[in-house]
Amino acid sequence: MPDSNKPVPTVTPPKAVISRMSLYLRQLEREIAEGNETISSTRLGGLLGVTDSQVRKDIGWFGTFGHRGVGYRCRELADGIRQNLGTARQWPVALVGCGNLGQALLGYGGFTRRGFKVRVAFDRNPALVGKLIQGIPILDFSRFSEIVQTEQIELAMLAVPADQAEATAAEIARSGVSGILNFAPTRLNLPETVAVSNVDLTIELEQLAFAVVRNRKKG
């Protein structure tokens, strides 16, 4: 495996850069799947609607990956992005909330492929506790702190109803979990030691609406 990525700079890149890194990584994975070994910053940017100079600037935050006369080597850059994002290794994840959304997340194949392994799930509903869903055991949420220690859980996906999100997140934060992926449409106020990402399902729908409006104007 190539190892040309330079040490991570001490200044944190802006959030927008990190978010584009995930998109570059997706595109690189598609290029690799299609058998392409190299890609130019112009092509990589063009496919995502980003200028080539922005691509080079963004990737510069993560190290020196460009090769003169070649562009980027897809595998090398993909590995370098994963190293820097922290997803080159596996993260043990717990799911909290096993209603419809939680069960859908347990059935979602994409997480493991990207380095996120759901080890255990939690709910407060006695009708669910004790079951196996998609091979994952559902435990009572009262055991959360204990299991976080024994299973070395680092991240939690929060899929409880909006009105329970804040209190549940506070309990998760107290257990020593490092990050929460929040699917509830609620902003969480947590100590800074716990990282939070919010999933907003309406953003993509807005992007779709815009694309439709544009299509109709063209048509």
Residue numbers 76-105 binding a copy of itself by CB under 8 A: 84-87, 91, 93, 99-101, 103-105
Nearest 10 degrees: CA dihedral of 90, 96, 97, 101? -30
Q: Is 8 helix (H, G, I), strand (E, B) or coil?
A: coil
Among 67, 81, 76, smallest CA distance to 8 is for 81
Single residue of 4, 6, 9, 12 touching a copy of itself by CB under 8 A: 12
Single residue of 115, 164, 170, 190 touching a copy of itself by CB under 8 A: 115
Map the footprint of a copy of itself across residues 186-205, applying CB under 8 A.
187, 192-193, 195-205
Piece of 36-44, 72-80, 137-145, 177-185 that binds a copy of itself (CB under 8 A): 177-185
Nearer to a copy of itself, 164 or 198 (CB): 198
Q: Is 66 exposed, middle or buried (0-12, 13-18, 19+ CB in 10 A)?
A: middle
Does 7 bind a copy of itself (CB under 8 A)? Our answer is no
Two tokens at 156? 């939690």
Does 213 bind a copy of itself (CB under 8 A)? Our answer is yes
Maximum pairwise Cα distance, the chain = 62
Least Cβ distance, residue 63 to a copy of itself (angstroms): 15
Q: Is 79 exposed, middle or buried (0-12, 13-18, 19+ CB in 10 A)?
A: buried
Nearer to a copy of itself, 142 or 149 (CB): 149
Does 219 bind a copy of itself (CB under 8 A)? Our answer is yes
